[in-house]
Amino acid sequence: MEQTTSANGRNTASPDPGYWTSVLIVSGIFSIAGFAINIIFGYVQIASEPGGTVFSPMMLGSVVVCLATCLGGLAAVWHVTRYITPRMKLGRGALIGFLTGAMIVLFSTLLNELWVIFDPGYTERLLDSVVENVEAMDLPADTQDQMIDQMAAGVRDTSVFQQLVVGIPVTGLLNLLTGMLGVRFFAVKEEDYTE
Amino acid sequence: MNSQQPTDHTPITPGMPPWVERNGFSDWAVAVLWIVLAFVLFQIVAGFVSVALIMIVGGTDPGVDFGDRLLQRMDLLFIGNSAGQILFLGFATYKVAGLHVWKDRVKTFLRFRTFPDTGRITGLTAVLFIVVQPVIWYLGYLNSQLPVPDYFSELQQSQYEMIESFLRSDGALLMAMVNIAFVPAICEEVMFRGYVLSAFEKNWGIWPAIIVSGLMFGLFHLQLTNLLPLASLGFLLALVTWISGSLVPAIVAHFVNNGSAVLLSTYFPDMAVTELTAETAPPVWTLIASILLTAWLIRQLFVSSESESEQR
């Protein structure tokens, strides 16, 4: 049992939230969906002719996944309030959001690493395709070279550790915010709650 | 310790608990979030103010790249930086502290107060921050032996070069003293030794709060090649703040530390730019003397504070 103090100062006991189930379910769904979208758009990118457009299929996929990933905290809070307890404080929502974001990064990184085992040439083919697309852009040669170098370094030199060190705080914080929004949208206020 | 007396956060005024408690947050988690948010907002405002000032004041060659124009007017970059610090590390942090405690407790929470022994402790702390410099140098050398991504080394090197070239320009000393020594001494102390230390202390007790707030101070500067010395300075400043129960000694010590670096870079630029190598290291006896004197001064600070507490 978790002891809480309500806004009017009374001590109330709320059931153990058990939010980890929601965190794992939501982060699992979001990471699998995000991974699938990225892979699909990645193969579309590999198969497409270099059009020289700034908004390539891979970039489109990344933007969609990035935006969708931010909603993980919101979804996890919704799941907790729907299936575990309707009452939740802002701080608990923030924690659930952060943990959901962190788990999404962890699962996604794991899935990406597993995919490289399944299709070892995927990353190189994708990079080649993106480089061809940049070369087809109407940009000065120096700018093109700079973009290509940055992309190649980003893909080849980023270790799993770096992905996690950067990804967990950034995605965690974004989901922390949506987790707090989730409390505002879905949780029942203490004074409105009746057993 | 002075800090053991009035850092009691229990309410005098009955009524609603502070926002952090009411909403089920941990004090430390809100403090960490605020460090991240304040850093981002500070950078945005600093950049925005600098660019706006350059566009308004001008004084640069319009034919050159805007990035180079920014570097031509380092004084305006410093003003933008100070504006960001004052706004977010100073004023906004004061408001955020109000989320953790009752409104009539904010100043106590941030240790905005003095005691009869604050002047004496401030003097000892100022001496301590001069005496500790050889230890800091060796920590910097030790840090330089650790592997760090090239990006961070290059970033730090370019920062140093920018500051050094600025300090060589006419009339730069006053501007540098204000923007590198005075403003950070107040704003960073309000943020780290005032707010972060107290927020961590509420959840973890004083020693973890001192260590982690020191580490956070080091990380906040985004200088991985300088993390050990910065974190150690942060640790010392937090220790002094706890011993004295006041923010004043840390502000003065921070000013002494940064101000002496500015003076050294201005009047002895060759010494300041010397690379950290075993050959350029100060003699080992200075390190030993520095360690012994630092330990003695810290002990004096403890003794001084304890005797003052007994008298009270």
A158 shares contact with chain B (CB less than 8 Å): no
A44-101 pLDDT tens trace = 888 888 777 777 777 888 888 889 999 999 999 999 999 998 999 999 999 999 999 9
Q: Which of B140, B151, B120 is nearest to B249 (CA)?
A: B120
Residues facing A11 on adjacent strands:
A5
Position A3 confidence tier, pLDDT thresholds 50, 70, 90: very low
Verify whether the Cβ–Cβ distance A7 to B22 is below 8 Å.
yes
**CA distance linking residue A111 with residue A106, whole number of Å:** 9
- Extract long-range pairs of A142-149: CB within 8 Å, 24+ residues apart: none
Query: Distances from the Cα of B61 to the Cαs of A93, A179, A188, B76, in angstroms?
Result: 52, 48, 60, 15
Name the residue among B16, B20, B36 with its Cβ closest to that of A7. B16
**CA distance linking residue B75 with residue B184, whole number of Å:** 16
Residue A135 has pLDDT above 50, yes or no: yes
Q: Which of B111, B132, B281, B283 is nearest to B201 (CA)?
A: B111
Residue A5 has pLDDT above 90, yes or no: no
Q: Which of A23, A37, A45 is nearest to A104 (CA)?
A: A23
Looking at per-residue pLDDT, the higher value among A164 and B276 belongs to: A164
Work out the burial of residue B20: count CB atoms within 10 Å of its CB; fewer than 13 is exposed, 13-18 middle, 19 or more buried: buried
Verify whether the Cβ–Cβ distance A7 to B36 is below 8 Å.
no
What is the model's pLDDT at position B196?
97
Gap between the terminal Cα atoms of chain B: 11
pLDDT in tens, chain B (312 residues): 664 444 445 545 557 889 999 998 999 999 999 999 999 999 999 999 988 888 887 665 666 666 676 777 788 888 999 999 999 999 999 999 999 999 889 999 999 999 988 999 999 999 999 999 999 989 988 988 888 777 777 777 777 777 777 777 777 888 889 999 999 999 999 999 999 999 999 999 999 999 999 999 999 988 888 899 999 999 999 999 999 999 999 999 999 999 998 888 888 777 665 666 777 778 889 999 999 999 999 999 988 777 766 654
What is the model's pLDDT at position B244?
93
A9 shares contact with chain B (CB less than 8 Å): yes
Verify whether the Cβ–Cβ distance A94 to B25 is below 8 Å.
yes
A87 shares contact with chain B (CB less than 8 Å): no
Contact B153, B218 (CB under 8 A): no
What is the model's pLDDT at position A62?
85
Mark residue B15 as left, alpha or beta (left: phi above 0; alpha: psi -120 to 50; beta: remaining): left
ipTM over 0.90? The verdict is no
Name the residue among A7, A90, A169 with its Cβ closest to that of B25. A90
Name the residue among B24, B25, B36 with its Cβ closest to that of A173. B36
